[in-house]
Chain A
């Protein structure tokens, strides 16, 4: 979509998605996703990201419309200094129409330009008179931030805050991440063991064992970790993995 005037119909749809999510009590990360996706869709923004003040100190990236590592890194380059940090500090919009002519925040500016962004507008996520975070809107061309767009964007930012303040327990997020970390570790262990099981029972090298496990996971269209877990837990027997699944389902599975 061209940048400029947002489309009214689209806005209604995005708005009802988000408010529907709020009413249904969706978790905050899902709501943040709806908000960042909504910004990208409605405001003609190339990418968006939400940063939050960590009560333990500093700010962190909590949501990004573009999940590529490089974009997340651009957002993170503001942890020390950047438009979003200033916007949070001042609880006010910080708008940079053309990054190439910006003198402040050299680290952020060069990181953003390198990945192809030319303009950034940062809006505060306000709660009770102070900023608890910021919404970054990034453009690939130099663009101003007209009042009307600013109003739409602030409405979405306010919805993001509503989504965040719905989280019943601040610690819940930390616990969810801890569970995820623990699961990732257990999955790694399970995958290693399953590769060994297959290699041992077929008398093949672990490398070939791994390729076979990967082929079966992709053949069944389940994530590798999930498949490994089901083998380790005995839901799928290693005998079932002994043969290569029908070829040509997924090309390029040689090793």
Chain B
């Protein structure tokens, strides 16, 4: 029974988005999960780096970017704990992630859910779902979301394997945040601080200016802004 549902969801994924499974998963989430307005798949690392695999729209992509800038939010939490994170009412639950809640609410999000993409103990990223109205996921939608996160994981592994067979570099995300990593390295060298500290400083700067960490990173990389931030 579950297998048939799973098969059906996978068919829906492969039938949409012209063979791009990651985008397909996001589109199917929005089409199938009741009340879900946007979905995004992010790869994440323990060092808090992020890459966007796909999002159903720009809004979902920006909400993922907010979490990158702020270092908090449902995706960050689901990745850290390895379990689903369900916030049916962001306004009522602001204390959990004050920064993210504020940014998300002001952009029109009212509820957020995230599911880890994982194999055994190895975590690779998250599937995030956003709603514009408060409310939890219905039982069937919750089950489907878990299955979709698992299908995304399977497809990701398959892609890794096919890339390996074809001699290609693994992982080619649609929205690469590689500039953030380059900017982190540049800051670390210039300020003679560790990579972790440099990343924290980059994010702090973005937060202070109300911009995304990617925006600030691009300024750093293209040397549009000075690397010497005011002392902490």
Contact = CB atoms under 8 A, between A and B. Distances in A.
B195 to A, nearest CB: 6
Main secondary structure of the interface of B (DSSP, over half): helix
Interface in B183-216: 183-190, 195
B197 to A, nearest CB: 12
A76 B162 contact: yes
B174 interface: no
Contacts of B230: none
A200 B120 contact: no
A238 B189 CA distance: 9
Given A184-B160, A189-B47, A178 B185 contact: no
Contacts, number: 133
B120 A175 contact: yes
Nearest to B221: A206
A69 B45 contact: no
Given A177-B119, A184-B171, A196-B185, 11 more contacts: A68-B166, A69-B167, A177-B161, A178-B119, A181-B171, A185-B171, A188-B181, A196-B186, A197-B188, A201-B189, A209-B182
A180 B43 contact: no
Contact of A197 (B3, B49, B166, B185): B185
Interface of B: 3, 6-7, 10, 43, 45, 47, 49, 51, 118-120, 122-124, 153-154, 156-158, 160-162, 164-171, 178-190, 195, 221, 227
A249 interface: no
A178 B182 contact: no
Contact of A199 (B119, B157, B185, B195): B185
A181 B123 CA distance: 10
A47 interface: no
Interface stretch (A2-10, A18-26, A58-66): A58-66
Contacts of A67: 165-167
